[in-house]
Structure 1
Amino acid sequence: MATGGVGRRVRGVVCAVVAALSVSGCFAPSPPMFGDGSSVPEESARVALPVRPGADGDWALNDSASRLLGQGTTLARLGERNGRSWRLTLPAEFALTSRRPGAPHSALTRDSAAVLVGGTDGRTGPSALAGVDLNQGRLTWQHPLPAGSRVSLHLGGTVVAAACHDGTCRLTSWNIGSGERRWSRTVAGPARVLDGCRADALGPAPGADDHCAPYVVTADHVARVDPDDGSLYRVPALRPPAGTVDRITVRAGRTVLVTAPTKGGCRATVLASGTDAGAGDRGWHRTFVWDQPQARRDPYTGCRWNRTLPLVVDHRMVLPDQKGALVVDAYFGTLRPAKRLAPGAYVVSDGSRAVVRTPGRADRLLDAAPGDDRPVRPQGLGPGARSVGRGFWQDGRRLVLFGAGDEELWEGRSDCRAFADLHVGGTVHYCDGAELVTLRPVNKD
């Protein structure tokens, strides 16, 4: 009995302490965030625009993780609490005009690392690499590349270039910080080397950076290249399909290959390896006639085909079949029926959502139930409006923050493509003439 009395007294004291903490404010309220329905923007910074965007109002390079903006021969880093801003004039060979990482005149970035990919007249592939010191704002090393090279950046601070000629592929890796060569190896036999996270991926890079490695694809096997030492690891029981394997990625524990469409017939194949465990643990494949309604006809194949358009939106694969796009679960593959869209419809990413776009019809969510006609965007926005961050939308030059009930909390104008820094509390940047303005969320009261 005494023990029970002590227990009751202890529980009573604990409850009293918890109640006191709650009342005294030890459990602090959440900080203001855009999209919480009550926070409004406050101008926290206004500086001269360090890099002017391109004619379309966007930059060739805009990387919020490394805080880099780049366009043409100008590369700049935005200032932050624990860092410094700088502005660098680039050599013409490393001018930034392409948004395709790994392509000539582009940049490969990851966290605090950046490598520029050069290009010169008369060459279709990269011409050279250059490392950038993000603290000092200067180029620290350069290396020329053989013709036809493909370049990729990897976890662990390495950049890998591969050049395939005359039946062999030569792969070379450098340290991002110093430019020192780490390893080099030759792979014998006809092969293609593909980057599974950026230039040759099916969509935006997955969160698991350990999958961001080059892949060597031959007629009878696929092997992952270890960026640390160049070792090759074959993907078990995966034989590439007939045709040219043009895209590769790792999704849902599977290595997924997609061939380029054939000339004239436009037939393509998607092939997925098995998984290690679970209900979807067998490989699958589908063939389809490649037809992307939003793409122009490729002059060589005659197909409506644009390899830069993503085939993965949200967590699903979208195969652009002529009879209507097939939406496939990459994990279960053929174990679950594919969803077919109406002819002419295609899927685009709208922030974190997958949206079905059909000419002549209002956009709708891919997951919308039959009869669900709720608008994809807040009322009053046009079909070209895009989500900037939580609650923020840009429609042309108009920039609007909406509350929980789609009421307008704030409106402004931006002379460039506004962008958000989600990793620093949801701040939003926009252009006011020749100035870059930063907005931070504050309580409405």
Structure 2
Amino acid sequence: MRRQGWRWLLIGVLGLLVTGCFTPQGPEFGDGSAVPEEASRVRLPVRPGPDGTWTVNSPQDGLLGQGRVLVRRENPDRRGWRLTLPAEFALTSRRPGSAHSAFVQDHEVVLVGGREGRRGPSAIAGLDMENGHLAWRLPVEPNNQVFLNASGAGAVLVADCRSDSCRLTGVNSRTGRRVWSRTEPGAVRVLDSCQADAFTADPLSAFAHDHCRLYLVTHDHVAILDMDDGRPHEIPGLRLPRGDIDRITENGGRITLSTAPAKGTCRATVAAGPAENPDGAEDLAWQHTFVWDQPQAPRDPHTGCRWDRTLPLLVGYSLVLPEAGSTLVLNPYFGIWGQYSRRLAPGEYLTADMRRMEILHAPGRPDRAFDETNGPVRPDGLSPAARPLMSRFWQDGRRLLLLDREDHPLWEGASDCQAFMHQGAGPGVFLTYCDGPDLVSLRPVHRD
């Protein structure tokens, strides 16, 4: 009887697996036949900025924020609310950690305040996500920096770094309580590998970060900060380049560093090595020094270099070094030792769209795919400013366009803001856009 029972249980499990494997998939945008159907329409809870985007837009949390208004959109799984923020915490900066910005990470929200006539953050505040109010406020001393790393007891880091030391304070993001404080002599800078100090801030990057860590930089080594107690853990065997370490990224057990271009010469160095130091890993380390010159950037008033720190160095699947004369494109793992390096023509630069498609831009020439085997960069009839929302769904100015597999229109609409894709309350991916005074969400349905 026992053996027969196991036999029927096995048959039942196999039946469930087979049924799951052959269950027809639901409609999806981009499958060539599904068209949009209106899933919801509500009054626009907060208007976007002049560029059609919101300073805070976190679809997974239902958050939209602009200026002094922060809203959580209601759905069956969460209650909605609307919060009018104090002027100090108005949301106007998209650079997390700067005054009037917000950190949104792992369903944690920390607001960074600013005051007129004050350079840098003036205070930080925690958001009660369930009830929609500020749970705590903590003043920040002048010239301090603010970081968030939600993986430790001191998830919020307040850092006061001078020429020879950093005073570090860890703050609990839920209570605002200081949980540790220490001074690290010799430290000169804190870098955030997943925010403004990263090589790319694109969460869809092919080289999205394995670890969102904070790093403490001294003149001769880099250390990982433990957010539970603030202790630094030095990375052994990592050879630092000369110059001021400006950006850092960790992926696949590899650390990649970049110095800022030097004033006057514009010389910079990018270096890579193992995040740990297993046997033989030093053979994979590399450095490359070059004169920094980004064709798409204006001259920085401090350095005199064509340098825009907000432009990514990891683009699609490539590491892009903006070398004077011709940009050098490398495999980010092997760097200068790899066989896939390529130099662009003078004036060309590389970008990537939301499909991770690498696109070559050059003055006076149409955009073209970096990989010449790829199809057209965008379908016929769309302007160079057209952006893909996902496969076969595009926004070109106000125009929304969903195409079939032969690039024929399946559906057209118009949006008064920058539309965005997100997971809906049910299965599948939704698209949300602005229709005059309304915020509209669309879901895919099979065409009749």
The verdict on a shared fold, with TM-score over 0.5 as the criterion, is yes
Letter paired with 2:141: P
Q: 1:281 to 1:29 in 2, by over 3 A?
A: farther
Which of 76, 91, 109 pairs up with 1:81? 76
Letter paired with 2:60: A
CA positional deviation for 1:368: 2.2
What corresponds to 1:196 in structure 2? 193
Q: 1:367 to 1:228 in 2, by over 3 A?
A: farther
What corresponds to 1:4 in structure 2? none
Residue 360 (str. 1) matches residue 364 (str. 2): yes
The 8 Å contact of residues 273 and 282 in structure 2, kept in 1 or not, is answered as no
Q: Aligned with 1:416: secondary structure?
A: coil
Letter paired with 2:238: L
Letter paired with 2:35: V
The 8 Å contact of residues 66 and 113 in structure 1, kept in 2 or not, is answered as no
Match runs of 1:273-312 below 5 Å? 273-274=273-274, 276=278, 281-312=283-314
Which of 146, 160, 164 pairs up with 2:161? 164
Q: 1:147 to 1:239 in 2, by over 3 A?
A: farther
The 8 Å contact of residues 317 and 330 in structure 1, kept in 2 or not, is answered as yes
**Which whole-Å deviations, capped at 9, do the CAs of 1:283-313 have from their partners, x for residues lacking one?**
1000111111111111111111110111111
Letter paired with 1:264: G
CA positional deviation for 1:177: 1.6
What corresponds to 1:8 in structure 2? none
Q: 1:24 to 1:77 in 2, by over 3 A?
A: closer
The 8 Å contact of residues 60 and 423 in structure 2, kept in 1 or not, is answered as no
**Which whole-Å deviations, capped at 9, do the CAs of 1:310-359 have from their partners, x for residues lacking one?**
11112321111112111111211222142111111111120122211112
Aligned positions, number: 428
**Which whole-Å deviations, capped at 9, do the CAs of 1:186-233 have from their partners, x for residues lacking one?**
111251111111011110266876621211111111111011221211
What corresponds to 2:183 in structure 1? 186
Residue 218 (str. 1) matches residue 218 (str. 2): yes
What corresponds to 2:108 in structure 1? 113
CA positional deviation for 1:423: 6.6
Choose 384-393 or 16-25, whichever is displaced more.
16-25
* TM superposition outliers: structure 1 runs of 4+ over 4 Å: 16-26, 205-210, 275-281
Letter paired with 1:237: G
What corresponds to 2:377 in structure 1? 376
Q: 1:20 to 1:203 in 2, by over 3 A?
A: closer
Q: Aligned with 2:284: secondary structure?
A: coil
Letter paired with 2:213: A
CA positional deviation for 1:182: 2.1
Give percent identity, aligned residues only: 54
CA positional deviation for 1:365: 2.0
**Which whole-Å deviations, capped at 9, do the CAs of 1:159-201 have from their partners, x for residues lacking one?**
2121113622111112222222222111112511111110111
Between the aligned partners of 1:270 and 1:310, the Cα distance in structure 2 is: 13
Letter paired with 2:307: W
Q: 1:209 to 1:437 in 2, by over 3 A?
A: same
The 8 Å contact of residues 222 and 234 in structure 1, kept in 2 or not, is answered as yes
Between the aligned partners of 1:423 and 1:289, the Cα distance in structure 2 is: 47
Match runs of 1:16-35 below 5 Å? 27-35=22-30
**Which whole-Å deviations, capped at 9, do the CAs of 1:42-88 have from their partners, x for residues lacking one?**
00111011110111111111122222111111111122220122111
Choose 194-203 or 155-164, whichever is displaced more.
155-164
Q: 1:75 to 1:356 in 2, by over 3 A?
A: same
**Which whole-Å deviations, capped at 9, do the CAs of 1:372-430 have from their partners, x for residues lacking one?**
x8421122111000011232110000011111221111000000011110476210000
Structure 2 unmatched ranges of 5 or more: 1-7
Letter paired with 1:433: G
The 8 Å contact of residues 208 and 251 in structure 2, kept in 1 or not, is answered as no
Between the aligned partners of 1:387 and 1:393, the Cα distance in structure 2 is: 4
Q: Aligned with 2:198: secondary structure?
A: coil
CA positional deviation for 1:22: 11
What corresponds to 2:5 in structure 1? none
Residue 335 (str. 1) matches residue 337 (str. 2): yes
TM-score (normalizing by structure 1) = 0.90
What corresponds to 2:406 in structure 1? 405
CA positional deviation for 1:107: 0.8
Which of 148, 173, 176 pairs up with 1:176? 173
Q: Aligned with 1:109: secondary structure?
A: strand
What corresponds to 1:428 in structure 2? 431
Q: 1:286 to 1:80 in 2, by over 3 A?
A: same
Residue 393 (str. 1) matches residue 394 (str. 2): yes
Residue 259 (str. 1) matches residue 259 (str. 2): yes
**Which whole-Å deviations, capped at 9, do the CAs of 1:1-27 have from their partners, x for residues lacking one?**
xxxxxxxxxxxx9xx999999999983
